[in-house]
Amino acid sequence: MHIILAVTGVVILEMIRRKDVYVLLFLTALITLLLGSVNLFGDANIARYLKEVCLTLIWICSVVIAITTAARQIPAEKESRTIFPLLAKPVTRAQVLLGKFLGCWAACALSLALFYVFFCLVSGAREHHWPLVNYFQALLLHILFCGVVVALTLLGSVVFAAPSSTVTIVGVVVMGILLLGRHLHKVALKVGGLAGGFLDTLYYSIPNLEWYDVRDLIIHNWPRMDWTVIATDALYGAAFIGLFLVAAWMRFRRMALN
Amino acid sequence: MNTPDSLKEALAALARRPGLHLALLFGLTFGLAKIQHPRKAAFQARNSRHDDPLSSLLGDGRKLFANHFYTKADVYFHSGFYPTILDNQESHRTAHMAEDAGVTSSKNTGDEEQFLGPVRNWIDAHGRKHFPSVHTHLGQDSPDGRKSVEREILPWLRFSSKLDPNRVETYTVAAYWLRRTGGHVEAEQFLREGLRANPDSPEILFELGRCREDASDSDRARNIWELAWRHWQERESAKPVEERDRFLASQLLIHLARLESRAGHRDRCLHWLSVLLPLKPNPEEIRKRIAEVQAGLPLGDTDDAPGQAGKIP
C-alpha cells in the first residue's frame, strides 16, 4: 500500500508545482467577481445567476483538470523514460496505475475543495444563507464524478497514441454524456427500430455522469438530497471506476514501454 | 559628418538608452490615440449600433441568445424544473412568468407537472432525484420560500434586453416582477429604456401606466394609457380582426375604465366599457358591468376581467 501512496504523493506534488489549478481558480474567481459587480436593478442580493455561472465554471475547470492531469501521467513517464527505474524497483504495473489514479483523483478533490470554498463564500456573501450540508453533498458527488473521469482517462491514455488524442476523445465523451446522457432513452423511444435499440443499449452501458451534476438543486436552494441516493451514486461510481481501472490495467500490463 | 553617419550614431545612441525607446514609443502611441479618438467618436455617433460590442460580435445571432436568456428567466421562475427540447413543451409554450404577470395571453396546453412522462426504468427513476422534479413558481411555492425571491429571474431578463432591445415582452415581464418585489423606480426606468428602443409599443406604455398608477399619479397613468390605446389602434387596425391582440386591448380598456370609475367620471368609464364590448369573446360580463355603472355603482373587480391579471397583490 505504501508504494501506491508514494506514487500518489508524487502525482499530488506535481499538481501543486504546476500552475494549471491556480490559473483556473483565478479565472473562475475573476469572471465570477466581474459578473457579481454588474449592477442589476440596484439589488445586491440577487444571487442565483452568480451561483450558476460560478458552478458552471467550476464544472468546466474540474473536467479540464481531471482529464489533462490523468491523460499525461503514463505517456509522460514513458516519454521521459522514468517509467523504467520506477518499474525496476519492486513496483508492479498495477500499483503504478492505482497510484496514478489515486494521485489524480486526490489532486482533483483538493482543487475542487478550493473551488467550493470560493463558491461557498460567494454564495453566502450574496444570499446570507449557508446550506453547508447541501454544498458538501454537491462536492462529494463532484469528486465521485472526477473519479470516474480520471479512471476513464487513464484507460484512454493506455489505449490512444498521444495525450492530445486522449484529452480530445475523453473530453467529447464526458461532455456528451453530461449533456445528452439523461435524454438517450427518450431519443431511443422516438427513433425506434435498430437505431433505437442501439441507443437504448448505450443508455444502459455508459456511466450516467449526469447524476453527479446537482447544480440545479444547489442553485435553486432545493432541500438536501437523501444520503441513500448519494450512497447509491457512490456505489455506481465505484463500479465504473473499478471497471475502467481493470480495463486499463489489462491493457497496461501487456503494453510495450520502449 | 555625412547624413548616414549621423543617423547611425543617433540609432546607436538610442540603442544605448532603452528608457528613451520606451518614452518615444509611449509618445507615439499617445499621439496616435489622441488623433484617432475624435474620429472614432464621430464614427460611433453616426452609427450607434457599432458602439455596442455585443451587436458587433454576434450580429443578429444575439436574438437567439436573448431568447435563450428569456427562457432561462422562466427556468429560474420554476426553480429549475423545466422541459428541455427533448421533453414535451406544450405546457410551456408561453413563459409562466409572463402569464402570471398578465402581460400575455396563454398558449399553454397539457399538464405542466407531467412533461417528464412516466418513469421508464431504474436509471430514469434514480436520475430524477438529481434535478428538480416538482413544479413550483417563485414566490408562491418555491423550495426555499424566501421573501422577494422572484427577483432571481431579473438578471436574465436584463441580459436578454441587452442582447435584443426590441423584444418588448422582456421589459413588460421584468417591470411586473420588479414592481412586485418593491422595485417601482427601477421598473419605470427599465420601461423607459424599453420605450427608447420601441417608441410606439402599446405594451410598454401600458406597463408604464401601471407604474404611474402604483405611484397614485392617475393623470399621467390616464395619458399614457390613452396614448397606448392610440398606438394599439394604429398597429392593429391593419391586421385582420381575428389576428388582433385583443388581450392587450382588453387590459388597456378595463384599466382605463376602472381609472375613470375611481375618479368619478362615469361617462368616460362607460365610454371605455362600450369600446371594450366588441372586443370580448364573451361580452355578457361587460354588459353586466355597464349596467352596474349606469346604476351608479363603481366598476368592480371581476374574476374574468383581464384587469385582474398581473395585479400586484
Segments in chain A forming alpha helices (H): 2-17, 20-36, 48-79, 83-88, 93-127, 132-159, 163-180, 184-191, 193-205, 215-219, 227-252
| Largest Cα–Cα separation, chain A | 66
The pLDDT of residue B308: 45
**pLDDT of A128 above 90:** no
For residues B206 and A6, give the distance between their C-alpha atoms in angstroms, rounded to a whole number.
71
**pLDDT of A257 above 80:** no
- The nearest CA of chain B is from the CA of A222 a distance in Å of 5
Per-domain residue ranges of chain B: 60-104+134-199, 201-313
| Cell numbers found for residue B17 | 538608452
Contact A185 B126 (CB under 8 A): no
For residues B139 and B79, give the distance between their C-alpha atoms in angstroms, rounded to a whole number.
10
**pLDDT of B313 above 80:** no
Out of B84, B127, B143, the one facing A222 most closely (by C-beta) is B143
| Cell numbers found for residue B107 | 398558449
* Residues on B contacting A at a C-beta cutoff of 8 Å: 76, 79-80, 84, 86-87, 117, 120-121, 123-124, 126-127, 129-132, 142-144, 146, 151-152, 154-156, 158, 178, 183, 186, 190
Cβ contacts (< 8 Å) between A223 and chain B: which residues?
Answer: 143
> pLDDT tens for residues B247-286?
889 989 999 999 988 888 888 899 988 888 888 777 888 8
List the one residue out of A114, A205, A87, A98 whose CA is nearest residue A150: A98
**pLDDT of B294 above 70:** yes
For residues B287 and B291, give the distance between their C-alpha atoms in angstroms, rounded to a whole number.
6
The pLDDT of residue B307: 43
The pLDDT of residue A88: 82
Mean per-residue pLDDT of chain A: 92
User: Which range among A76-85, A128-137, B70-79 shows the weakest confidence by mean pLDDT?
Assistant: A76-85
**pLDDT of A2 above 90:** no
Q: Which residues, at least 6 apart from A52, have a Cβ–Cβ distance to it below 8 Å?
A: A215, A219
Cell numbers 465521485 correspond to A144
**pLDDT of B305 above 50:** no
The pLDDT of residue B51: 60
Out of A41, A42, A211, the one facing B130 most closely (by C-beta) is A211
Q: Give a yes or no: residue A257 inside a domain.
A: no
Q: Give a yes or no: residue A258 inside a domain.
A: no
pTM of the model: 0.85
The percent of residues in chain A predicted with pLDDT above 70, rounded, is 100
List the one residue out of A29, A70, A26, A20 whose CA is nearest residue A53: A29
CA A104 to chain centre: 10
Contact B183 A49 (CB under 8 A): no
Out of A40, A225, A226, the one facing B158 most closely (by C-beta) is A40
Query: Mean per-residue pLDDT for A118-132?
Result: 92
For residues B210 and B310, give the distance between their C-alpha atoms in angstroms, rounded to a whole number.
10
Q: Quick check: ipTM above 0.90? A: no
**Number of domains comprising chain A:** 1
Helix or strand or coil: residue A150? helix
**Alpha-carbon dihedral B192, B198, B202, B208, rounded to 10 degrees:** -10
List the one residue out of A150, A143, A214 whose CA is nearest residue A178: A214
Q: Are B170 and B157 in contact (CB under 8 A)?
A: yes
Half-sphere exposure of B224 (CA within 13 A, CB side): 24
> pLDDT tens for residues B90-133?
888 888 999 888 888 778 887 777 788 888 888 889 989 999 98
CA angle, B105 then B108 then B191, to 5°: 40
With CA atoms as reference, the chain B residue closest to A40 would be: B155
Out of B130, B143, B183, the one facing A223 most closely (by C-beta) is B143
pLDDT band at B195 (very low <50, low <70, confident <90, very high): very high
Q: Are B260 and B252 in contact (CB under 8 A)?
A: no
Q: Which residues, at least 6 apart from B226, have a Cβ–Cβ distance to it below 8 Å?
A: B256
- Provide the domain limits for residue A81: 2-252
User: Which range among A169-178, A212-221, A224-233, B4-13 shows the weakest confidence by mean pLDDT?
Assistant: B4-13
**Cβ neighbourhood burial of A238 (10 Å; 0-12, 13-18, 19+):** middle
Contact A216 B151 (CB under 8 A): no
Query: Mean per-residue pLDDT for B287-311?
Result: 66
Sign of CA dihedral A223, A227, A229, A230: positive
The pLDDT of residue B246: 86
Q: Which residues, at least 6 apart from A47, have a Cβ–Cβ distance to it below 8 Å?
A: A123, A126, A127, B152
Q: Give a yes or no: residue A135 inside a domain.
A: yes
**pLDDT of B306 above 70:** no
Q: Give a yes or no: residue A153 inside a domain.
A: yes
Cβ contacts (< 8 Å) between A203 and chain B: which residues?
Answer: 123
Cβ contacts (< 8 Å) between B123 and chain A: which residues?
Answer: 185, 203-204, 208
CA B102 to chain centre: 13
Q: Give a yes or no: residue A56 inside a domain.
A: yes
User: Is CATH 3.90.550.10 the classification given to domain B201-313?
Assistant: no
Q: Which residues, at least 6 apart from B61, have a Cβ–Cβ distance to it below 8 Å?
A: none
**pLDDT of B4 above 80:** no
Query: Mean per-residue pLDDT for A62-88?
Result: 89
**pLDDT of A26 above 90:** yes
Helix or strand or coil: residue B80? coil
Q: Are A188 and A199 in contact (CB under 8 A)?
A: yes
Task: Count CB-CB contacts under 10 A for residue B284.
Answer: 9
Contact A219 B80 (CB under 8 A): yes
